[in-house]
Amino acid sequence: MLQLDGSCAQLKGRKHTSPLAICVGDVQDIERFATTHHLPLGLLDSLLPGPVTVVLRRGDSSILEKSLNPGRLDNIGVRVPTAISFG
């Protein structure tokens, strides 16, 4: 198992206390990593996909390895990038 000691944050030049940001393919995928039930209905769909990082509380059943975000285990940044068409 990969164990990180802040190397990811150091590589990005960020404080290890900043939430780790991940990208997912679809708004519905966010629930696999973070808690969304407290948000107004449709909020995430109105913001994403797009150039927005939403910082949410990490879900209790998150599939993301906790050692990836050792400084702020309670928050995670999530993005759904806009698809780029090459055709």
Nearest to 66 by CA among 5, 23, 13: 5
- Residue 86: HSE in the Cβ half-sphere, 13 Å Cα cutoff: 0
Q: How far apart are CA 52 and CA 6, in angstroms?
A: 24
What is the percentage of the chain residues whose pLDDT exceeds 70? 68
Residue 46: the pLDDT is 96
Task: Give the pLDDT confidence of 31-71 residue by residue, as tens digits.
Answer: 999 999 999 999 999 999 999 999 999 888 787 777 676 66
Contacts of 9 (CB under 8 A, 6+ apart): 15, 16, 18, 71
Alpha-carbon span 50 to 65, nearest angstrom: 25
